[in-house]
Amino acid sequence: MNRVAGPVWQPGDERYDLARSVWNGMVNRRPAAVVACTGPADVAATLRYGAETGLEIGVRCGGHSIAGHAVPDGGLMLDLTPMCAVRVDADRRRAWVQGGALLGALDEAALRHGLATTAGNVSHTGVGGLTLGGGMGWLARQAGLTCDNVASYQVVIPSGEVLTASARENPDLFWGLRGGGGNFGVVTEFEFVLHRLDTRALSVEMVFPLHEAEPVLRRWRDLLPEAPREATLTAWVGTAGDWAHLPSSLRGRPVVNIGYVWIGDPDAGRRLLPALRGAASPVCEVVGDLTYLQLQRREDDTQGYRYRRYWKGHYFRDFGDEVIGRFLALERGPCAPSASLQAYGGAIAEVPDHESAFGQRDALVEFVVAARWTDPAEDADRITEARRYAATMEPFASGAYVNVLNDEGQDGIRRAYRGAKLARLTELKDRYDPGNLLHLNQNIVPSGLR
Ligand code: FAD
């Protein structure tokens, strides 16, 4: 690979191990080489080299794909992390973000001008993977998904050609990049629309013992359709940690935590509190003002790199009493996972379904079961428990978020994209990547390779 300007690391090189380590500690694959790309020309040369040699290509931005798709075993890791610059034009309310940047860099650069756009909830997640799959965040109910805020993409398609995709140029590709993942090319730059929003934030959490939580969660569910779009309702079930705000009798016990994140005037946010308190009295309540930037970083440490992880997710169009019962029937035990819910709706649902590849705009709520551990001896039990619990909820699910899919293969793809959408994505794949050079992702298989 002497055709690229950036460095190439191989086993034994000092930077190799750092470059191949990703967020999920379960992923320990060894690429033949890591190509640290510095611009579209490096990306094009790496894609061509992969096509010529048959080396499998993995594309890395933030390295947060739960399945570890960025790291090909024995293949070429196309590492975008050197391409992490963010440029803001405050007058035009636009940000140009290179394809390897992290969300924290986008948030920080935009907020310096009092501007923001929807980004995910953990700042070390990559702009690349998150945006290409959709992009859910605390601003989404006001400003749409992250992908709804992309005005244009600069993309290197598998042939090595550099294209612009926008509503005017290559609109078919623009449609596919809005939710279709990394299937059609490598994005070297995103142009984002920024908003001048009130980015003060309020965080609300109320904790209940598991056995008291059913009426509480029903009340929470009833608020979903009517909640103001500044609010994103959240819920969590799992084992309480050693949380300072919790009575010691509940630490290490199963609890349910309901609440919301409010972006805007915190006093207006507090007006939603009585509605949530209605069903029962929480054992503790934590209500706090914070800045949007603090909010965007507050989970950075708990969502850090040091753990082995397994996830499975569902979308729900309805969240009936039976689903609530199953959500609360999380098994107890040393290998039990935790699970969370996050509200959709608002501006997400207002974008017409046919406008983008993202397939689940009618979701009321997203569910994710998450297992986290350190001892490899627990792998099988942890994964089995998480799968078993997720399976009890699946009959009620309306689909799944492509960015939360893990090891479900084509069954997962069919859950993320319903019939006509999958057919259109397949046509697009046939046009831009008929040989499936970019297949280490949540893969849209070209029709010639089915
Ligand atoms: P990577 O592993 O680097 O990339 C994943 C895949 O995306 C690659 O295999 C490639 O196919 C593709 N890709 C990445 N960059 C490019 C590019 N520039 N061009 C072409 N293809 C590319 N999702 C949300 O919507 N909202 C959240 O709040 C949220 N929070 C999260 C928090 C954590 C801690 C984690 C681990 C994940 C979170 N996610 C969230 C899910 C997240 O969207 C996905 O894990 C996503 O794949 C991460 O992207 P990445 O760039 O970090 O990952």
Has domain 200-404 been given CATH number 3.40.462.20?
yes
331 phi and psi angles, rounded to 5 deg? -65, 150
**What is the reported pLDDT for 334?**
79
267 C-alpha to ligand 1 centroid (Å): 34
Nearest to 369 by CA among 358, 355, 385, 381: 385
Q: Which residues of the chain have pLDDT under 70?
A: 1-2
Q: Is any atom of ligand 1 closer than 6 Å to the C-beta of 120?
A: yes
Strands (E), 119-196: 150-156, 162-166, 186-193
Q: Is any atom of ligand 1 closer than 6 Å to the C-beta of 402?
A: no
Assess contact for 321 and 41: CB atoms under 8 A.
no
**What is the reported pLDDT for 450?**
86
Residue 109 identity: A
Instruction: For residue 382, give the DSSP letter.
Output: H
The token duo for 67 is: 């399945």
Q: Please give the helix or strand (H or E) that residue 289 lies within, else none.
A: strand 284-291
Atom of ligand 1 nearest to the CA of 130: 43
Reported as a single tens digit per residue, the pLDDT across 303-327 is: 998 899 999 999 999 999 999 999 9
In the chain, which segments carry CATH 3.30.43.10? 8-79
Nearest to 67 by CA among 123, 100, 19, 27: 27
Q: Which CATH number fits domain 8-79: 3.40.640.10, 3.40.50.10800, 3.30.1330.10, 3.30.43.10?
A: 3.30.43.10
Report if pTM > 0.95: yes
Q: Is any atom of ligand 1 closer than 6 Å to the C-beta of 129?
A: yes
60 C-alpha to ligand 1 centroid (Å): 9
CB atoms within 10 A of CB 186: 26
129 C-alpha to ligand 1 centroid (Å): 3
**What is the reported pLDDT for 260?**
97
447 C-alpha to ligand 1 centroid (Å): 26
391 C-alpha to ligand 1 centroid (Å): 24
The residue whose CA has the least distance to atom 49 of ligand 1 is 129
Q: Measured between alpha carbons, how far is 19 from 8 in angstroms, rounded to an integer?
A: 11
143 C-alpha to ligand 1 centroid (Å): 20
Q: Is any atom of ligand 1 closer than 6 Å to the C-beta of 65?
A: yes
**What is the reported pLDDT for 246?**
87
40 C-alpha to ligand 1 centroid (Å): 20
**What is the reported pLDDT for 248?**
87
Instruction: For residue 330, give the DSSP letter.
Output: P
Residue for token pair 């309702």: 233
What rounded mean pLDDT belongs to the chain?
Answer: 96
Residue 292 identity: Y
In the chain, which segments carry CATH 3.40.462.20? 200-404
In the chain, which segments carry CATH 3.30.465.10? 86-197
Please give the CATH topology (third level) of the domain spanning 86-197. 3.30.465
Q: Is any atom of ligand 1 closer than 6 Å to the C-beta of 75?
A: no
If one residue of 38, 59, 118 were mutated to test the ligand 1 pocket, choosing by the most ligand atoms within 8 A of its CB, it would be: 59
Q: How many CA atoms lie within 13 A of 227 on its CB side?
A: 34
Q: Is any atom of ligand 1 closer than 6 Å to the C-beta of 441?
A: yes
Phi-psi region of 346 (alpha: psi -120 to 50; beta: other; left: phi over 0): left
The residue whose CA has the least distance to atom 16 of ligand 1 is 128
Instruction: For residue 218, give the DSSP letter.
Output: H
Residues in the chain: 450
Assess contact for 70 and 29: CB atoms under 8 A.
no
